[in-house]
Structure 1
């Protein structure tokens, strides 16, 4: 189990990868505000967290609450996909997202992997600081995309 702390703007934060150190309600609330998972059901969020290497960021000051998430889908041997990086709006601008990603990348289960990938609409500079670069051969990649999968159909 990884357990790290940092102080920012007079507040104390704790980062944990313990599966039970997870506030399903808080993470669901954050991810339903993210452009990539609007409307995601809570049970989907909980199943995704349970089957991933997830890092949970807590603000330890009153009121104590989970304020961030970063999740790696990985086989812990050759490949990892970084996704669901989200920081509560009230805690942005303090470098916490950068810290959370940097600490997560140091995790023993993410060492020696042949490839790590991610997709982002707007945070390229943050991930570039950690060694991520545009796909060298995007023509090799393929995907099935279901945007707005969790939202009700438009009638």
Structure 2
């Protein structure tokens, strides 16, 4: 089994790696500027997964610690996929003591539904009650 480690210290995270992945490789954040990535990180709980000293993945969560948490920008770089890093990252986030009281978690994905179902995620019940505003 690989030796993974999680850090929530933004100072330890590879901002260039995170920005490059989000803005160039992800389908959800193409073109996001480095400044936007940094601002989004400053306003969320960020999680970096490391193998040794190399950062190989990332996620961020916005929450009020009671009612809701929104999980975003989750990725493991391609050459490290299918080695357990994503499971390690999600296990860490979903088992954080300070998130135990959070009532609902949300996320959006185009291609990882089976992965997130293992953590209790499912289609939104009563989608007719949800609204959004897109700028």
Bigger radius of gyration? 1
Kindly indicate whether residue 6 of structure 2 is the aligned counterpart of residue 15 of structure 1: yes
Q: Secondary structure at the match of 1:121?
A: coil
1:149 — aligned with what?
A: none
1:150 corresponds to: none
**1:118 and 2:107 aligned:** yes
Question: What is the TM-score with the length of structure 2 in the denominator?
Answer: 0.92
* Whole-angstrom CA distance in 1 between matches of 2:113 and 2:87: 11
- The RMSD of aligned alpha carbons is 1.4
In structure 2, the CA distance between the partners of 1:76 and 1:19, relative to structure 1 (3 Å rule), is: farther
Distance 2:51 2:43 in 1: 24
The runs of 4+ residues in structure 1 deviating greater than 6 Å are none
Shift of 1:21: 2.0
Between Structure 1 and Structure 2, how many residues are aligned?
134
The 5-angstrom pairing of residues 90-109 of structure 1 reads 90-109=79-98
Q: Is the 8 A contact 2:41 2:60 kept in 1?
A: yes
Shift of 1:13: 2.3
* Displacement after TM superposition at 1:76 (Å): 1.8
The C-alpha deviation readout for 1:73-108, integer Å capped at 9, x for no partner, is 111222100110011011001121122112111112
Unaligned ranges ≥5, structure 1: 1-6, 147-155
